[in-house]
Structure 1
Amino acid sequence: MKNRTAARFSGIEKSATFAVVDTVRALRAQGVHVLDLGSGEPSFDTSAHITAEASKALLGGFTHYTPSRGLPELLEAIAGKLARDNAVVVDPATDIIVTPSAKHALYISMMSVLDPGDEVIIPTPSWVSYQSMARLAGARPVAARLSAQDGFRLSRALLERYVTERTKALLINTPNNPTGRALTRQEAFEVAEFAAEHDLLVITDEIYEKVLYGAEHLSLASLPAAAGRTLVVNGFSKGYAMTGWRLGYVAGPGDVIGEMVKVQEHSVGCAGSFVQRGGLAALTGAQDFIREMVDEYAVRREVIVAGLNALPGVSCELPEGALYAFPDISATGLGTSAQFAAWLLEEAGVAVTPGSAFGPGGEGHVRLSFATSRDVIEAALERMATALAGRRGAAVRG
């Protein structure tokens, strides 16, 4: 056989964010002291009341299959959360699927609504996996390029430039990875009206919903124009520091969810049983630790942005949400974002993600995570300052 893998993989690249993680691990295994600002891994441990409930379930023998849609009590808790926090009303029996990660929720959403030849509009810069997921579904991702010049604002006028007769869906991420932007109420209304006018499905990734710094989170599914056409994807990884648990969910119109559950049944079957018990504890237990965690992130955000703006050739706006700074490094004279990231790793031992990984609009920037500890952030900024100062001094001497 000449081709032992499917042709669909020819246009798919490996995850750029996982590539950074793998590089860091490989260098550390060689004894290199690398400071990792590439990963969106919260430095906090999962709250004890969540792990206690999952441990209790595990030790009590709750280790068998659950319904593919998820535990009924967890579905009820998710429906209550959506109504309480997001003004989104869904039927827990028909309108929600619990998934092993929000990432899987996004994947089955794409697989369920996109046919080969369909187009999905994705405002970019955007998370690295969106476009690859669309391609795996046989669809064509259409990057609606946002501009740093206006703060990566989204407008109906911009979206209108990218819609065609093949457009089937629109994917929105708020708060955004990598830019940290949170949709304003005006932007959300314009997006909803655009989707209704063109009869589009909307997939909205709200995984960073709880990680906001004074900005408002508005779920598109709460708006009348978008309510019956929106799939809300969310999960526990970021807001509850549960990345390794792999637990998420998708909620939306029952007719779409009813078809989507087939993908769940024929792929993973269901999310982990005792993991779902942990998710139930997360939603129904104390929430104070989230505020404490986000307050610490807010301090780290101030530290990293101030440090970046003190570097020659670097400028950075304060992100409104999520866990990332997205500075403009184009004035450093160090080439593309990939070249800058490679130089920084080599000269300073600091790992960041090149902006080009996030699609059109990302070039000229790099993404730095402040999910890590304050000590690591401060040490990384010191290394960056030293490396950039050394380069500048060499240029002056030359």
Structure 2
Amino acid sequence: MSPRIAQRFSGVERSATVALLETVQRLRRDGVEVLDLSGGEPDFTTPAPVVAEAVSALEGGDTHYTPSRGVPELLRAVADKLATENGVRVDPATGVIVTPSAKQALFTALMTVLDPGDEVIVPTPAWVSYPAMAGLLGARAVPAELSAADGFRLSRRVLEDRVTERTRALVVNTPANPTGHVLDRAEAEEIVAFAVRHDLVLVVDEIYEKILYDGRRHLSLASLPGAAERTLTVNGFSKAYAMTGWRLGYLAGPEPLISAALKVQEHTVSCAASFVQRGGVAALTRAAGDVAAMRAEYAARRELTVSALTALPGVTCAQPEGAFYAFADVRGTGLTSAGFAQRLLDEAAVTVAPGPAFGAGGEGYVRLSFAASREVLRGAVERLSRLAARWEVG
């Protein structure tokens, strides 16, 4: 028998970043001491209040189904957080869904607004899963290529060039993976004006909102006039609270969209894990100090990483404004992104993510994560320094 595979998979590749992780694991099993700077996982342990609350819930027998929307305590905590920190007001009973991961929230959001044949604009370079998710839904991700020359800023002019009669939504990620760019108010206002003009839904990924540098403040698109009724805000706990393995996120927005999204949740994953949701309440209400400490450490790691990159002949790297990635320009080495990444792996046993994995505009760049520990970063810096001593550009 030759099983039939659904046509929707024909244009969807496996995750490039997941594939890199598997490569690292294989090399380590073979005895290679690889230093991995390709992933997006904080090395910190989850804050103690979060762990304690989840353990208490487990020991108390809180191991059953919850309402599909989420437990009331977490729904209220999310709504309170959005109101006080983001200037976004939603009804916790109708405007929020707690999901098993922000990735699931994003997929649910796209499923809610896209039909087969629809288009969604994705500014690039962008996280690898945005186009793949659209493809799995039978929709098409239309890349809007941004330029490093202006710091990967998102302009209405770039967006207008990509809109068609099939466009239904725009994905926005701030702070952005992989570029580290953070939206400012002028950009945000242009985005909202564009969405209003073309009657589009804004799907806004804010997973890195708490990882900002140099005094920057996060701006939620849903807080701007005219945006709330057309914005689905995606967020979660993995990055800010070092809770990647917990798989906890949320989706917030206007009642009509959230009501439809709830059907996706009910007929797929049902609900997020009960005890994990209890940990989420603790994260939002009792872990601010831990988040601040992690952010300060990321800032120090940023300096270490960017300095090491710019010491390599032919490499330049702007300071990321947010998130924990350095997006380095390697065109001056005469190598392609893949060639540069392979040379780092072969000659220094350091893994980085080639820029083309992140779509249009990624060639000539590589992404390095400084979510790794200082020990790993220092080891990588030493290896890069030795490599630089024998580096021949051209």
Normalised to the residue count of structure 2, the TM-score between the two structures is 0.98
- d(CA) in 1 for partners of 2:270 and 2:36? 35
CA RMSD of aligned residues (A): 1.1
Q: How does 1:210-359 map to 2 (within 5 A)?
A: 210-213=210-213, 214-334=215-335, 336-359=336-359
Compute the displacement of 1:306 (Å). 1.0
CA offsets 1:24-67 (integer angstroms, 9 cap, x no match): 11111111000000111101100111100000001111000000
> What is the CA distance between 1:117 and its match in structure 2?
0.9
Structure 2 Cα separation of the partners of residues 217 and 188 of structure 1: 11
Cα distance in structure 1, aligned partners of 2:356 and 2:93: 41
The AA in structure 2 aligned to 1:264 is: Q
Report the AA paired with residue 282 of structure 2: A
User: What's the counterpart of residue 188 of structure 1?
Assistant: 188
Q: State the one-letter code of the partner of 1:206.
A: E
Q: CA deviation at 1:345?
A: 0.8
Question: What letter corresponds to residue 223 of structure 1 in structure 2?
Answer: L
* Aligned AA (2:181): R
Instruction: Spell out, residue by residue over 1:44-97, the C-alpha distance to the aligned partner (whole angstroms, 9 max, x if none).
Output: 100111100000001111000000010011101100000000000000111110
SS in 1 for 2:329: coil
Q: Render the CA deviation track for 1:149-201: whole Å, top value 9, x for unaligned.
A: 11111111111110111100000000000000000110001001110011000
Using the TM superposition, name which of 49-58 and 4-13 deviates more: 4-13
> Partners in 2 of 1:9 and 1:340 — Cα distance?
30
Where 2:141 maps in the other structure, the secondary structure is strand
Gaps (5+ residues) in structure 1? none
Bigger drift between 113-122 and 2-11 goes to 2-11
Q: Does 1:141 align with 2:141?
A: yes
8 Å CA contact 2:311, 2:388 repeated in 1 = no
Letter in 2 for 1:128: V
1:23 aligned counterpart, secondary structure: helix
- Is 2:125–2:361's contact at 8 Å kept on the other side of the alignment? yes
Q: Which residue in 1 is equivalent to 2:68? A: 68
Q: Hey, what's the Cα distance between the residues in 2 that align with 1:121 and 1:34?
A: 36
For residues 344-391 of structure 1, give each alpha carbon's deviation from its aligned partner in whole angstroms, at most 9, with x where no partner exists.
Answer: 111110010000000001110000000011221122122123224324
The more displaced of 337-346 and 303-312 is 337-346
What is the one-letter code of the residue matched to 2:203? Answer: I
Matches within 5 A, 1:100-249: 100-213=100-213, 214-249=215-250
What's the CA shift for 1:146?
Answer: 0.2
Q: 2:125–2:179: 8 Å Cα contact kept in structure 1?
A: yes
Mapped to 1, the partners of 2:340 and 2:123 lie a distance apart of 24
Deviation at 1:293, TM superposition (A): 0.7
Question: Aligned to 2:390, what secondary structure does the other structure show?
Answer: helix
Q: Distance in 1 between matches of 2:241 and 2:43?
A: 11
User: What pairs with 1:30-45 in structure 2 (closer than 5 Å)?
Assistant: 30-45=30-45
How many Å separate the matches in 1 of 2:299 and 2:142? 33
> What is the deviation of 1:3?
4.4
Amino acid at match of 2:11: G
TM-score by length of 1: 0.97
Summarize the alignment of residues 22-61 of structure 1 with structure 2, pairs less than 5 Å apart: 22-61=22-61
SS at match of 1:249: strand
- 2:93 and 2:271 map into 1 onto residues whose CA distance is 15
| Cα distance between partner residues in 2 of 1:23 and 1:65 | 37
**Residue 5 (structure 1) shift:** 1.7
* Alignment-mate amino acid for residue 310 of structure 1: A
